[in-house]
Amino acid sequence: TTLDKPAPGRKPGAAARRRVSVLLPLPFPGPFDYALPDDGRLDDVRPGEVVSVPLGRRTETGVVWDRDGTLPPEFAPPPGRPVADGRLKPVIARAGLPALPAALRRFVDWVAAYTLSPPGLVLAMALRTSQSAQAAPAQGRAQGWAPADPPPAGLRDTPARRRVLDVASRDGPLGGAELARRAGVGAGVVRGLADAGALRPVTLAPAPAFAAPDPGHCPPTLGDHQAQPAQALRDLAAAGGFSVTLLEGVTGSGKTEIYMEAIAACLAKGRQALVLLPEIALSAQWTGRFARRFGAEPALWHSDLGPRLRRVTWRAVADGTARVVVGARSALFLPFAELGLVIVDEEHESAFKQEDGVTYHARDMAVVRARMDDAPAILVSATPSLETLANVGAGRYRHLVLRARHGGAGMPDVRTIDMRAHPPERGLFLSPVLAAALDETMGRGEQAMLFLNRRGYAPLTLCRTCGHRLQCPNCTAWLVEHRARRIVTCHHCGYQDPTPPACPSCKAESSLTPIGPGVERITEEARATFPDARILVMASDTLPGPAATADAVARIARREIDLVIGTQIVAKGWHFPHLTLVGVVDADLGLGGGDLRAAERTVQLLHQVAGRAGRAEAPGTVMLQSYTPEHPVMQALVLGDFENFMRQEAEQRRPGFWPPFGRLAALIVSADTPEAADATARALGEAAPHGDGVQVLGPAPAPLAILRGRHRRRLLLRTRRDIAVQPLVRQWLARVPPDRGARIDVDIDPISF
Ligand code: ADP
Ligand code: ZN
């Protein structure tokens, strides 16, 4: 436990004060010790309780932290210097918030140790949510009425009054209006009874913010290929205990349908469930589906939640009234009272990696969270990550596979269009082959989709006279033209400018030329080619928020749209029953850049896009415009042979100990000047760890060599799988003296390498 008992024979007080450790949501290396106040008011404070403490001249909110280590020794941070008893400051008060459960505290410690982040910054993710809650109670308390016991002597008895008292004792306590309604009397009768002292006021418990989902509300009739995996998941959730299962199945095979059965079993057992989605825009569709299955909405959690809902939800998760939470990665840090199941949908998505602040991968941390709560975890994907497949291969994860689409819908027919043989006309981007297919599809009254993972009009603007390119002043990146908004903007730092009328370099007028397409430009081309088509553009900048996205999806489902043109947002798990043709404008797009994971990511993305086609009765066709149709990525998509492709990927990474066969940490050095960045990067290079199974690559320019005006260098530490990178990085950083000009960010398990 946390509380140090006073040493025997010594009186509590100034000489030997009782201490508690309090972790503050701030970037310190660990918790601070505080004294319990002498008046004994907080003597019973327990780990997890939220308290206010002095810090310098300020008052901060923190959490009473366990002092005995819960971490594996190689992770444990070095102990801080103990503070003498006499100098400890006392805890001020309890903050009036639910305590953080032990499993969440251990999770915070674990994430901090694994990601090499200050534990307070991880705690901040668990608390951020609640801080605005301190002043106001979660909900107003309503007043209700119950019969006085004993009743007042000499009460005038009427049939109306008797009905009210009967209802109040049978159904009560009830609010006045509800009581009158149920008794079939006017409000005056209730008031009269209250005045006479026959009804006494009671405070009603607040109505729960979240209705309880009913596991038996509307269970599905499972298809033949679904029954066995569904039963396996139900059994896992009902049995409880930590395990990880990969639920793999082609898009439309019913994975969502089936993991809802695991949720049903978890609910029936009286435990809470957490479902992580990669994209919060998906939550509206998901929530509707959940409500049809369980008769109640789940709680939603993401960073755009308003402060009131955030407060209410946080408390409802803590007190157990929110039974199912669906959310973005930050939902991992909610204070679940009795977590019994963790699901990660689209587990392969890179959106699960948080890149700012504490850099963590929500899929991996979800597995850790499940372990802390001794609950099963289910990872769901049509195209699982190589990491997860390796864990399956090593026997660490179970594997359930759904091989067919539900209801006998066929897999789409995937073909490449060789752009060398069928080039588009000058200045256009759609091959005549694709244009003809689009025309035919829409002519039959079916829907079509064009996919291009690039926002804006053109990714590059070039001066035809002098060759100047419009570049971000803060980043190593082109400015992207957004023609509708008449701006050029940087997709990395947000810098923007009105689109210049003349070349900023040689001043030549009307010489700036857009190079390459973005969705806006493809839309322009489609409007010109198919003037009668009803076209909808779906991109993150044209759809502000989940409601707009849900609305767009609904319009497509109602067949108000003939052609959808979109960026990666269209690739998500949407169900478009009338869509039969998907054209990928530039299937080669993700393959450049020399990132070892590029092929895996491209296959996953394009497979996901392809999965939008032909989900109902009509078969679907997918056309991939490519200059390299012989590339293994295109072949895997055409043959639908994801398994074989991933096996080949694995064989490429295995010899060099690249993830998942080895471990990786990236150190990113950033500084205001290239000299400062180089100096620190060099110092890191000289102090690099070495040894058997340990290798350091770099320093080299980081993938974005300049970002937001900061010059960036990268070093990669690669180790064998049986060697933990955290202690190596910790010791490495300790060997390099801190430099005022440069900062070093650590990214454990970087997703690009
Ligand atoms: P996935 O998550 O694998 O893409 P879904 O669970 O979304 O698949 O299922 C695809 C479609 O098939 C959805 O519209 C879903 O409602 C429907 N579906 C799947 N299984 C069943 C079932 N057993 N009964 C009725 N509809 C089902
Ligand atoms: Zn920029």
pLDDT at 80: 56
Largest interatomic CA distance in the chain: 103
Amino acid residing at 298: P
Centre of ligand 2 from the C-alpha of residue 473, in Å: 6
Of residues 545, 550, 585, 638, the one with CA closest to residue 448: 585
- Of the given ranges (542-551, 689-698, 701-710), which has the lowest mean pLDDT? 542-551
| Residue whose token pair is 């418990």 | 205
What is the Cα–Cα distance from 730 to 116, expressed in whole angstroms?
8
Q: Please give the share of the chain, as a percent, with pLDDT higher than 90.
A: 67
Q: How is the beta sheet containing 299-301 ordered, strand by strand?
A: 299-301, 324-327, 272-276, 339-345, 376-381, 243-249, 398-402
pLDDT at 72: 54
Centre of ligand 1 from the C-alpha of residue 656, in Å: 40
pLDDT at 83: 67
- Of the given ranges (76-80, 419-423, 433-437), which has the lowest mean pLDDT? 76-80
Centre of ligand 2 from the C-alpha of residue 122, in Å: 28
Query: Annotated binding residues, as ranges?
Result: 463, 466, 472, 475, 490, 493, 503, 506
> At residue 595, does pLDDT exceed 90?
no
Amino acid residing at 589: L
Q: Which atom of ligand 1 is nearest to the CA of 226?
A: 23
Residues with Cβ–ion distance below 5 A, ligand 2:
472, 474-475, 490, 492-493, 495
Tokens standing for 273?
Answer: 């469930």
What is the Cα–Cα distance from 537 to 352, expressed in whole angstroms?
25
Average pLDDT over residues 632-659: 91
Of residues 732, 702, 738, the one with CA closest to residue 717: 732
pLDDT at 125: 93
Average pLDDT over residues 261-266: 98
Average pLDDT over residues 735-739: 83
Mean pLDDT of the chain: 89
Best of 224, 234, 257, 572 for a ligand 1 pocket test (most atoms within 8 Å of beta carbon): 257
What are the Cα distances from residue 284, in Å, to 291, 308, 561? Answer: 11, 19, 20
Which ligand minimizes its atom distance to the CA of 611?
1
Q: Which atom of ligand 1 is nearest to the CA of 382?
A: 3
> At residue 59, does pLDDT exceed 80?
yes
pLDDT at 178: 81
From the number of C-beta atoms within 10 Å of its C-beta (0-12, 13-18, 19+), residue 160 rates as: middle
Residue 62, C-beta contacts closer than 8 angstroms, at least 6 positions apart: 22, 23, 24, 25, 31, 32, 50, 51, 52, 53, 123
> At residue 128, does pLDDT exceed 80?
no
pLDDT at 70: 54
Which ligand minimizes its atom distance to the CA of 261?
1
Span 186-224, pLDDT tens digits:
888 998 998 888 998 877 665 667 889 999 999 999 988
What is the Cα–Cα distance from 141 to 159, expressed in whole angstroms?
31
pLDDT at 7: 41
Centre of ligand 1 from the C-alpha of residue 49, in Å: 43
In this prediction the pTM is 0.85
Which ligand minimizes its atom distance to the CA of 495?
2
What are the Cα distances from residue 653, in Å, to 382, 386, 602, 647, 661? Answer: 21, 10, 17, 10, 7
From the number of C-beta atoms within 10 Å of its C-beta (0-12, 13-18, 19+), residue 44 rates as: exposed
> At residue 247, does pLDDT exceed 80?
yes
User: How far apart are the two ends of the chain, measured CA to CA in Å?
Assistant: 43
Closest C-alpha residue for ligand 1 atom 11: 252
Q: Are strands 324-327 and 376-381 parallel, antiparallel or unpaired?
A: unpaired
Cα-flanking dihedrals φ and ψ of residue 399, to 5°?
A: -140, 120
Which ligand minimizes its atom distance to the CA of 490?
2
Closest C-alpha residue for ligand 1 atom 16: 257
Work out the pLDDT band at 412, boundaries 50, 70, 90: confident
What is the Cα–Cα distance from 31 to 65, expressed in whole angstroms?
7
Of residues 297, 290, 302, 276, the one with CA closest to residue 379: 276
Between the CA atoms of 168, 169, 171 and 174, what dihedral angle is there, to the nearest 10 degrees? 40
Q: Which atom of ligand 1 is nearest to the CA of 380?
A: 2
Q: Quick check: 27 and 120 in contact, CB under 8 A?
A: yes
What is the Cα–Cα distance from 704 to 711, expressed in whole angstroms?
9
What is the Cα–Cα distance from 28 to 272, expressed in whole angstroms?
32
What is the Cα–Cα distance from 96 to 219, expressed in whole angstroms?
40
Strand extents, DSSP E, 143-188 = 143-147
Work out the pLDDT band at 81, boundaries 50, 70, 90: low
pLDDT at 77: 52
Helix ranges restricted to H, 624-672: 632-639, 642-653
Q: Which atom of ligand 1 is nearest to the CA of 222?
A: 23
What string of H, E and C letters represents the secondary structure of 591-630? HCCCCCCHHHHHHHHHHHHHCCCCCCCCCCEEEEEECCCC
DSSP, collapsed to helix, strand or coil, labels residue 748 as strand
- Of the given ranges (139-143, 680-684, 740-744), which has the lowest mean pLDDT? 139-143
> At residue 295, does pLDDT exceed 60?
yes
Q: Which atom of ligand 1 is nearest to the CA of 345?
A: 2
Best of 406, 574, 576, 608 for a ligand 1 pocket test (most atoms within 8 Å of beta carbon): 406
Strand extents, DSSP E, 13-138 = 19-23, 32-35, 50-55, 58-65, 93-94
pLDDT at 19: 84
What is the Cα–Cα distance from 317 to 172, expressed in whole angstroms?
27
Q: Are strands 413-418 and 621-626 parallel, antiparallel or unpaired?
A: parallel
From the number of C-beta atoms within 10 Å of its C-beta (0-12, 13-18, 19+), residue 593 rates as: exposed
pLDDT at 68: 57
Q: Which atom of ligand 1 is nearest to the CA of 257?
A: 6
Return the half-sphere exposure (C-beta side, CA atoms, 13 A cut-off) of residue 405. 18
pLDDT at 220: 92
Centre of ligand 2 from the C-alpha of residue 459, in Å: 13
Average pLDDT over residues 100-111: 94
Of residues 666, 678, 675, the one with CA closest to residue 732: 666
> At residue 582, does pLDDT exceed 90?
yes
- Of the given ranges (38-42, 78-82, 699-703), which has the lowest mean pLDDT? 78-82
| Residue whose token pair is 């864990």 | 391
> At residue 727, does pLDDT exceed 60?
yes
Closest C-alpha residue for ligand 1 atom 18: 254
- Of the given ranges (119-133, 233-247, 360-374, 637-651), which has the lowest mean pLDDT? 119-133
Label residues 416-437 b or e (16+ Cβ within 10 Å = b): bbbbeeeebeeebbbbebbbeb
Between the CA atoms of 152, 154, 159 and 161, what dihedral angle is there, to the nearest 10 degrees? -30
Centre of ligand 2 from the C-alpha of residue 742, in Å: 20
Q: What is the ipTM of this complex?
A: 0.96
Q: How many CB atoms lie within 10 A of CB 8?
A: 5
- Of the given ranges (75-89, 247-261, 663-677), which has the lowest mean pLDDT? 75-89
Span 452-469, pLDDT tens digits:
999 999 999 999 999 999
> At residue 503, does pLDDT exceed 50?
yes
pLDDT at 576: 85
> At residue 76, does pLDDT exceed 70?
no
Work out the pLDDT band at 169, boundaries 50, 70, 90: confident
> At residue 69, does pLDDT exceed 80?
no
pLDDT at 309: 87
> At residue 625, does pLDDT exceed 80?
yes
Amino acid residing at 679: A
Closest C-alpha residue for ligand 1 atom 15: 254
Return the half-sphere exposure (C-beta side, CA atoms, 13 A cut-off) of residue 145. 24
The kind and range of the H/E element at 127 are helix 119-131
What is the Cα–Cα distance from 295 to 289, expressed in whole angstroms?
10
Q: Which atom of ligand 1 is nearest to the CA of 573?
A: 4
What is the Cα–Cα distance from 612 to 569, expressed in whole angstroms?
12
Q: Which protein residues touch ligand 1 with a CB less than 6 Å away?
A: 220-223, 226, 249, 251-257, 406, 573, 575
From the number of C-beta atoms within 10 Å of its C-beta (0-12, 13-18, 19+), residue 539 rates as: buried
pLDDT at 136: 42
What is the Cα–Cα distance from 327 to 32, expressed in whole angstroms?
32
- According to DSSP, residue 478 is labeled B
Centre of ligand 2 from the C-alpha of residue 346, in Å: 30
- According to DSSP, residue 658 is labeled -
Angle at 667 between CA 689 and CA 111, to 5 degrees: 100
Closest C-alpha residue for ligand 1 atom 14: 575
Which ligand minimizes its atom distance to the CA of 471?
2
> At residue 82, does pLDDT exceed 80?
no
Work out the pLDDT band at 577, boundaries 50, 70, 90: confident
Query: Annotated binding residues for Zn(2+), as ranges?
Result: 463, 466, 472, 475, 490, 493, 503, 506
Angle at 130 between CA 127 and CA 134, to 5 degrees: 125
Centre of ligand 1 from the C-alpha of residue 225, in Å: 12
Closest C-alpha residue for ligand 1 atom 23: 222
Centre of ligand 2 from the C-alpha of residue 384, in Å: 32
Angle at 398 between CA 654 and CA 615, to 5 degrees: 95
Average pLDDT over residues 255-282: 94
Centre of ligand 2 from the C-alpha of residue 601, in Å: 24
Span 311-332, pLDDT tens digits:
899 999 999 999 999 999 999 9
Work out the pLDDT band at 3, boundaries 50, 70, 90: very low
Most confident of 121-135, 374-388, 530-544: 374-388
DSSP, collapsed to helix, strand or coil, labels residue 301 as strand
